Structure formats: C-alpha cells, structure tokens
Amino acid sequence: MAYFDAASAAPLHPVARQALAASLDEGWADPARLYREGRKARMLLDAARDAAAEAVGCRPDELVFTSSGTRAVHAGVSGVLAGRRRVGRHLIVSAVEHSSVLHSAESHEADGGTVTRVAVDRTGAVSPAAYAGALRADTALACLQSANHEVGTVQPVAEVAEICRAAGVPLLVDAAQSLAWGPVAGDWSVLTASAHKWGGPSGVGLLVVRKGVRFAPQGPADERESGRAPGFENIPAIVAAAASLRAVRAEADAEAVRLRELTHRIRARVPELVPDVEVVGDPERRLPGIVTFSCLYVDGEALLHELDREGFSVSSGSSCTSSTLTPSHVLKAMGVLSEGNVRVSLPFGAVSEDVDGFLEVLPRAVAGVREKLGAPVAETAVRDDVLVVDSLGKRCPIPVIELAKVIGEVPVGGLVRVLSDDEAARLDIPAWCEMRGQEYVGEEPAERGAAYLVRRSG
C-alpha cells in the first residue's frame, strides 16, 4: 500500500517515535512543580521549546505549544483581534485559507466584525497588491497561509508581510504545510503550525506571537504556556514533535530535490496518460511533494475508492465528498474543476517505484469510473434555437458529461442551456468551458435549480 496523503497527516517519523518512547518515563510530571520529577519535565519542555523556536526562527519565549494546529489558529486570530480591538474589527484573509482560518473569520463576523476575503488567481496565489488594497484604517489583522494545502501553491508571504508591516498591521501566517521545508520568510507577526504535518504526533500545535504584537488571550485565564494555551502540557508528544521537526529539517534540502523530481514526473505524465485532465496549482512556486489534478467526467470520491482498491491512498478536493457534500472552497476560488480532483502528497521517503505504480494504475482507474458514469443519456430539446440539456436531479459530474455529449450537435456560435440543481455545477460548467475552449455565457434563474448557458466556440 502506497500512502500519498502526507498533506493531511504525515507518517510518524522514526525520530518522533524514539523521542516519544524515551520521554514517557521522564516527562509525565507537572513541569510547574519544583521537585525532581517536575524539574525533569520542565527541562524536557524547555529543550523542546528551544528546538522548535530555532526551527521557526523566533525567540523561545515567543512560542507556545497548543493542543493542535487548529487550536493555534483559533487562539492566534482571536487573541490578536482582541488585543487590537481599539484599532478596529476588520480582518483580512485569503479565499483559499485552511478551514480553521475561515471558521475563525466566520466567528468574527458573527460577533460583529468585518472580513475581507482576498481572491486568488487560477494557480491559487494571492496578489500582494490585493492585500495592500484590502488594508483599511480599522484593519486589526491579516492572515495568509505560507502554502496551500490542496494544490501546493506557495504564497508571497514576504511581500505581503512587508506591506502589512508598513501599514502597522500584524500578519498571521498558517505555516502548517511548509514548516517542514524551512522557516517562513518575511517579517510576519504571528505563526501557527501543526506537528502531524511534518511527522510528529497528532495533538501538538505551535503558536508564535512576536514581541510587540498586541495579544489578549481569550477564554478563562490559565497559567500554562504564558496563558495562551490552557491545559496540562503533553510533554512526551511535545518532545517528539520538536525532535521530529529538527530531524525533517536536516533532511529537507536533499528530500526536496528528490520529491520535486517525483512530483514533476506526475505533473508531466498524467496529462499524457489520461485524456481531459487539468493539472492545477502553480507549476513553479509550489511545495516539493504536492501535485493536484482534475479529471473531467469523473466523480472524485469514486476515483479515490478505485485507487484505494489498487493500493494507493490519495485525497481529493472534489465536491460532493461524503464528509461535506459541498465543493472545495480552494478549487472554487481558483475557478478550476471541482469534480474528479486528486491530490497526491508524497511523504518523506516516498519511492520512485510507487510513483511509477500509481501512474500505471491511474489511467485504468479513471477509465473505469468514466465508463460507469457515462451511462446516463442526456434529455435534450431545442427551445428558441437553444439546445436544452435537462440534468435536474443528477449529481455532478453528470451535468458536465451530458453537456460534453451534445455540444457538437449545435453549430459554432450556437447555445446550450444546461439545467442543474447541483451546486457543484456552478463551478464545474465554467471550469469545463475553460478546459475545452468553449465560451461560458453565464447563469440564469430557472424554475428549479439554475440554467447555465454555454456557447460553442469550435
């Protein structure tokens, strides 16, 4: 079985396993106590903090350990917003942030604050100029991920940090995906990360708040971790997290070269092996181990099941997954196909043979899913010189499949009107037009669902 979903959770690093086992006997006591066992626990905690701070590039007293990366984000966002409430209640985020950031933004709005969501281009990158344009006199905080978790695109953090610093606005960086590869560049103010992304144990997050940033921890007061992360520290897990971060950093330069070659192979070969595929994300400014592509006429969840049966664990940003039943907000913001989306994220140590095996299996898996989904026959009719495709009650990608079947029946310049009540069609039909060189005219209200107009260009 080949595990290709390291962007969700990396396998436990051998160093983390060793450090976890070794510290179980020494790190169980209360590090706030002055007796021998407490002093041993405190020494382990302090050493872990020093190691993590060195990897991040901050002072040890600026870094606290939280119970998860999500908790670090929530605490970081709420703490800065509360600390700078006199400045204002305006928050800036990108449209492709991790859900933990977006949920914090939604909570802020529900509490009466305002949020600006900065758009991205088709590669998933923000423009520094867009952040500059979003800044206001009442902006309390801006947030920007260091790299995108779904498509691997690296964001211009240093440029955005410089813009925010000049405006006197702190920038919070979610570095969960990139911290294993090196420190985050730029003059950022707050940083968060999660240990299970780099091969540490789950249940450990990092929250770094630079000196001078106004910060007011929210919730009941607690003396642990400078009052910013309540609860008894899980010292063995923290020690393992810091040890594994140091270990992966020592391997990062060489491993980055190796994984970039493997992901480049996937990016180049997939469009050659599978018809009607779009590789998404920035082709150059990207993390070493992530490659994402979208397959037309394929249900992403069905494709993942097929690949799992063939021995490959991958993930998808596809819409209509069993957990959410909604399109990926990242793919939606990028304007790319949400159906048939596959994210391959290679762990440290991934081997060339497994990548070759994946490339051998993928065409067969895609063809099998397409064959199963190709059975429905489009119900079409010509109304006022417009070919109408009735896909009501059919889940994506069926509306796109039916559109593809009939587009050749209209003359160049003719219109096809696709009726669909699946929310994913709002994203997938324009994305299909972009991929196939057809003109997307727009959306119209319909008696049920919506009508999507497509003009045949060739």
Question: Where are the alpha helices (H) located in 9-156, listed in sequence order?
Answer: 14-24, 36-56, 69-83, 99-110, 128-134
- The pLDDT value given to residue 324: 52
Q: What is the mean pLDDT of residues 328-356?
A: 93
- The pLDDT value given to residue 377: 41
pLDDT(273) > 60: yes
pLDDT(430) > 80: yes
Report residue 435's pLDDT band, with 50, 70 and 90 as the boundaries.
confident
Residue type, 111: D
Report residue 48's pLDDT band, with 50, 70 and 90 as the boundaries.
very high
- The pLDDT value given to residue 317: 67
Distance between the two ends of the chain, CA-based, in angstroms? 44
427 contacts: CB under 8 Å, gap ≥ 6: 319, 327, 331, 332, 335, 337, 338
Residue type, 205: G
- The pLDDT value given to residue 321: 43
Q: Which helix (H) or strand (E) holds 90?
A: strand 90-94
In which residue are the tokens 């003359």 written? 411
- The pLDDT value given to residue 411: 92
| Given 58, 143, 320, 433, the catalytic residue | 320
Q: What is the mean pLDDT of residues 303-318?
A: 90
Annotated active-site residue 433? The verdict is no
CB 7 within 8 A of CB 316: no
pLDDT(322) > 90: no
- The pLDDT value given to residue 395: 86
Question: b or e along 418-453 (b: 16 or more beta carbons within 10 Å of the residue's beta carbon)?
Answer: bbbebbbbbbbbbbbbbbbebeeeeeeeeeebbbbb
- The pLDDT value given to residue 49: 98
Beta-strand pair 190-194/171-174: parallel
Phi first, then psi: give them for residue 75, nearest 5 degrees: -70, -40
Percent of the chain topping pLDDT 90:
81
Interatomic CA distance for residues 223 and 212, integer angstroms: 20
pLDDT(167) > 50: yes
Q: What is the mean pLDDT of residues 367-382?
A: 68
pTM across the whole model? 0.89
pLDDT(311) > 60: yes
Range of weakest confidence among 27-36, 91-100, 122-131: 27-36
CA atoms within 13 A on the CB side of 212: 9
- The pLDDT value given to residue 375: 38
Q: What is the mean pLDDT of residues 265-293?
A: 95
pLDDT, mean over the chain? 93
